Structure 1
């Protein structure tokens, strides 16, 4: 949808809707008309991934070619058989760019590369002749350094560097005065140049260092002073905390996504002040430095918040008050906790968050027994317990997690028995046991193959999909 916006396809119908909301409405309409099929939705039920039927795709490609809207390039057809001339958009699906580099690209507005290994030198002639280019998407390629020609693209609005090898951006990036989206997630960027603050039209800035855990960014990307000038930003992700940055980010009141890393004790006041002013915030991520406690007392979360990710140890004595202060957040549906130091006693503090639909505890639980009491997490649909090295018992009372659809245990080596009371989870459709005790996994596999109707088999008889995984053996097996 961001590419639709930067391409100019989306215009505001009225002042009550943002460009993003209008774009999402169009996407939903395409689904409703059966032109797209939903593959995945996010935790709020919004569309995350869609697929086009082969027949519809062929019709779309033919129509795009007929109207000079766009073409697909796969390198076949022999020398000189392919021409960009007149095409507004090109989708590159092979690494052989020789034919493409010899074509005139003066009408080109969007270039999407879907091949990992490309010769950057062969991109230069295309970029040089593409003065109208507004979208350059190099996501997933092996590119390490952007050609200088990119920074002469005055009309560029979308620059996609996600999952590339790019390690730095030069100061001349400041020339891209019309840039609205810079997506460099999962790249090798460690810092942003000073000139980034000149890009006053930026709406989305996604960066991420390689040093990440499963859900929480550990390191963070360094940004220069002056970030308050990017007043239109809606997303700012994986930024390394400094006192200056946290004071400046308070001016970015349009943020919907904010993710900050390497937070220290002395940052608490500035961070709380900044978040208080983000009245539209939907996604928030906070990760502390390795030797720090996650100090969140006094943090007032906005009522719009839907997803919260916290990385770092929480103070056990302050957990009851902390989570109780968030119990009024009806929109909070997804919570990720990592390294949180939760145990048997403090887990119950989470039960006040009754609107949760997704709960991920990764290296967050340090106790031996997990108990879910009747009435706990009434709306929860997905639960992941990961890297709980001491966990050996799980109890589920009747009436707990009545809407749970998916339950995953990952790297819980001491878990030798199925959760006691798992039979009460009537809505459960999927159970995954990944690297729990080998004893439990082998027991379930053997009893699946035998005629014996054991108590364990009866417990999970209502679950449609039961999958076991032993990573060190390369075993991934669906036993139901």
Structure 2
């Protein structure tokens, strides 16, 4: 089903009915926009065929004779007065909606299959939500919801529960009875100013989650002996993220992951920055495209770990945090020729970083942050030949731009912050072209250069 939907999306893009705004590291569409003329045409057509209606609280808007409703006003009393309601999907785009107005509102839409409340400021869900027995999608992303009651178990047709970046810390045991559930998103973004693998907030999932054998996405869960026992049964997972992993739990975690033969995205985060992730026994499926590891890696087995990555022909993004890589360990990564994104966050402890000729031929994004000893970066000719964006943050010993940066003719964006004062001052000089220093001449081909102290 997901593959069919993505096919339709790309068909719209290929026909220029949608314009791509942003793609992710693997080249997949992340966000789109619609030309004004196409948008007006789409709105007119959808209104004529009762495909979708937009309710803005003005005029005589109603929800009659439509199955999809976009709510863009907090004044929804008028909607509850409509008759012959056949609405199946409601998308709310107004954060002023209150729980009191939502109660009476939902009583009129008992046939709902999709309810998307993302971005609203509600702190709890009214009981009426759990009487929507046909509900398949419940979207609570970026809300203030702190608790989901056990009555969520009534929603036996629910396929998607999206509580990403809400205020939720636990799930009721009844979630484990939702046997049609396919997507469970419960991660919370790190707080501003907080860094480290412990910044990401996971959630405790109920015992018995092994019964949700149709799950395709599960993120971000806290590791425990109970959840590790259940994970091995979730063989259909495409996306999986787990945090607060301890060293002694790694063997059980690796065994569980090796049953997930369809994984596309995997994130493993240790309980602290000093915790070592023992992943030498981990076998990853060839379908894996995105891998994030937060925690120290054993240098002795680093070649063994990375050599297993080199067999992943679909791996396009690798993000490492607190891995304590040195120059020898980093050289093992050069075998990953298919990478489009490489992020090293407080993961590199070496003094020099060397990119051999022909290394990372498909890499578009390279980000290195919190490398306290890094003082030299060398790029040989024909290395990084597809690089579009280079980010260097908090590298205080870096006194010069990467040697060979002038070879990176595809480079469009250079972001530099927290380098040595010497380098920062040189790059912030505003001199005429004939008086420029060597560093400025090296980057004159780059469209956007951003430098902060």
Q: How does 1:259-270 map to 2 (within 5 A)?
A: 259-270=241-252
Question: How has the CA–CA distance of structure 1 residues 214 and 68 changed in structure 2, closer, same or farther, with 3 Å as cutoff?
Answer: farther
Determine if contact 2:55/2:62 at 8 Å carries over to the other structure: no
Q: Is 1:115 equivalent to 2:70 in the alignment?
A: no
Residue in 2 aligned with 1:334? Answer: 317
Unaligned 5+ residue runs, structure 2?
none
CA distance in 2, matches of 1:71, 1:467: 44
Residue in 2 aligned with 1:284? Answer: 266
SS of equivalent residue, structure 1 residue 90 = strand
Q: How does 1:59-458 map to 2 (within 5 A)?
A: 59-77=41-59, 81-104=60-83, 106-211=85-190, 218-290=200-272, 291-447=274-430, 451-458=434-441
SS of equivalent residue, structure 1 residue 400 = coil
SS of equivalent residue, structure 2 residue 13 = helix
Q: How does 1:3-82 map to 2 (within 5 A)?
A: 19-77=1-59, 81-82=60-61
SS of equivalent residue, structure 1 residue 317 = helix
Determine if contact 1:85/1:106 at 8 Å carries over to the other structure: yes
Report how far residue 180 of structure 1 moved.
Answer: 0.6
Report how far residue 155 of structure 1 moved.
Answer: 0.7
Question: How has the CA–CA distance of structure 1 residues 204 and 267 changed in structure 2, closer, same or farther, with 3 Å as cutoff?
Answer: same
Question: How has the CA–CA distance of structure 1 residues 32 and 167 changed in structure 2, closer, same or farther, with 3 Å as cutoff?
Answer: same
How does the TM-score come out when normalised to structure 1? 0.88
What CA deviation, in whole Å up to 9, does each residue of 1:296-333 have, x standing for no partner? Answer: 01100111111100000111222122111221111111
CA distance in 1, matches of 2:262, 2:445: 42
CA distance in 2, matches of 1:180, 1:293: 35
CA distance in 2, matches of 1:55, 1:218: 41
CA distance in 2, matches of 1:200, 1:63: 37
What CA deviation, in whole Å up to 9, does each residue of 1:400-437 have, x standing for no partner? Answer: 22221211112334433211221122222221113434
Determine if contact 1:101/1:123 at 8 Å carries over to the other structure: no
SS of equivalent residue, structure 2 residue 310 = coil
Report how far residue 102 of structure 1 moved.
Answer: 4.4
CA distance in 2, matches of 1:450, 1:390: 32
CA distance in 1, matches of 2:158, 2:245: 29
Task: Identify which range, 308-317 or 93-102, moves more after superposition.
Answer: 93-102
Residue in 2 aligned with 1:16? Answer: none
CA distance in 1, matches of 2:95, 2:432: 43
Question: How has the CA–CA distance of structure 1 residues 103 and 302 changed in structure 2, closer, same or farther, with 3 Å as cutoff?
Answer: same
Determine if contact 1:187/1:210 at 8 Å carries over to the other structure: no
Task: Identify which range, 407-416 or 124-133, moves more after superposition.
Answer: 407-416
CA distance in 2, matches of 1:46, 1:153: 34
Report how far residue 127 of structure 1 moved.
Answer: 0.7
Report how far residue 442 of structure 1 moved.
Answer: 3.7
What CA deviation, in whole Å up to 9, does each residue of 1:21-52 have, x standing for no partner? Answer: 11111111111121111111222222221111
CA distance in 2, matches of 1:84, 1:112: 13
Unaligned 5+ residue runs, structure 1?
1-18, 471-480
CA distance in 1, matches of 2:148, 2:380: 54
CA distance in 2, matches of 1:448, 1:174: 67
Determine if contact 2:251/2:278 at 8 Å carries over to the other structure: no
CA distance in 2, matches of 1:243, 1:105: 51
CA distance in 1, matches of 2:84, 2:404: 64
Determine if contact 1:448/1:457 at 8 Å carries over to the other structure: no
SS of equivalent residue, structure 1 residue 258 = strand
Determine if contact 1:188/1:210 at 8 Å carries over to the other structure: no
SS of equivalent residue, structure 2 residue 430 = helix
Determine if contact 1:106/1:131 at 8 Å carries over to the other structure: no
What CA deviation, in whole Å up to 9, does each residue of 1:161-189 have, x standing for no partner? Answer: 11111112100000011111111111111
Determine if contact 2:80/2:108 at 8 Å carries over to the other structure: no
SS of equivalent residue, structure 2 residue 243 = strand
